């Protein structure tokens, strides 16, 4: 039930832009809760790494007095990885292409994270 609701939110998020290639919601201890990912991605590893990276980003933000962290963004040659807190206990991870308009992606991802927090 909850997983289905989360998958619906992920599907809506992925539909907002052709540049969003995949998305997933993961518990803060690294367990995959729902995902719309391309085949070949190791969901377990992605879950653990997403949670770890958001944890590290949060720690950095706190240590360097940047306040409550909103997101962590990784830019690579092949695109972006965006991680946002979805409520207290989950992480929304979004994979986007290099052509992605980040402002729109941030906005849509944040909306999705708020919706997920309500489900969770």
Partner 1 sequence: MTGQRAVDVAALIDGIIASLVPAALPQADDHDTLARNRQWLLGLEDEIITLFYDSLYAHSATAALFQDGERAAREQTLRGWWQRTVGAPVDLAYFRWMSLVGIVHIKRRVTNPMMLSMLPIVSERVVTRARADLGEAEAQRLQQVFSRLSTTIGAIISEAYTMGFVGALEDLAGLDPKLTARMLDLEVQRIERESRAQLS
What is the radius of gyration, based on Cα positions, of the chain? 13
Q: Report the half-sphere exposure of 115 (CA within 13 A, side-chain side).
A: 17
Q: Which of 5, 36, 37, 52 binds partner 1 (CB under 8 A)?
A: 52
- Which of 4-12, 24-32, 33-41, 109-117 is the region at the interface with partner 1 (rule: CB under 8 A)? 24-32
The vertex-105 CA angle with 101 and 108, nearest 5°, equals 145
Is residue 45 a contact residue for partner 1 (CB under 8 A)? yes
Residues with Cβ within 8 Å of 105's Cβ and at least 6 positions away in sequence, in order, are 17, 19, 20, 80, 82, 94, 96
Q: How far is the CB of 24 from partner 1 (least distance, A)?
A: 15
Asked if 118 and 112 count as a contact pair (C-beta separation under 8 A), the reply is no
| 74 is a contact residue toward partner 1 (CB under 8 A) | no
Say whether residue 29 binds partner 1 (CB under 8 A): yes
In the complex with partner 1, the residue whose CB is nearer, 20 or 47, is 47
Q: Does 72 bind partner 1 (CB under 8 A)?
A: no
Neighbours of 46 (CB within 10 A): 20
Positions touching partner 1 (CB under 8 A) are 28-31, 44-45, 47-48, 51-52, 54-56, 58-59, 62, 69, 85
């Amino acid at each position: 039930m909850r997983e289905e609701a989360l998958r619906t939110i992920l599907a809506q998020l992925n539909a907002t832009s052709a540049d969003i290639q995949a998305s997933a919601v993961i518990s803060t201890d690294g367990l995959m809760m729902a995902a719309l990912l391309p085949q070949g991605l190791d969901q377990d590893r992605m879950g653990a790494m997403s949670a770890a990276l958001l944890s590290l980003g949060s720690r950095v933000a706190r240590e360097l007095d940047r306040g409550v962290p909103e997101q962590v963004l990784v830019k690579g040659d092949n695109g972006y990885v965006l991680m946002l807190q979805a409520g207290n206990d989950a992480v929304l991870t979004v994979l986007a292409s290099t052509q992605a308009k980040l402002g729109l992606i941030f906005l849509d991802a944040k909306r999705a994270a708020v919706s997920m927090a309500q489900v969770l």
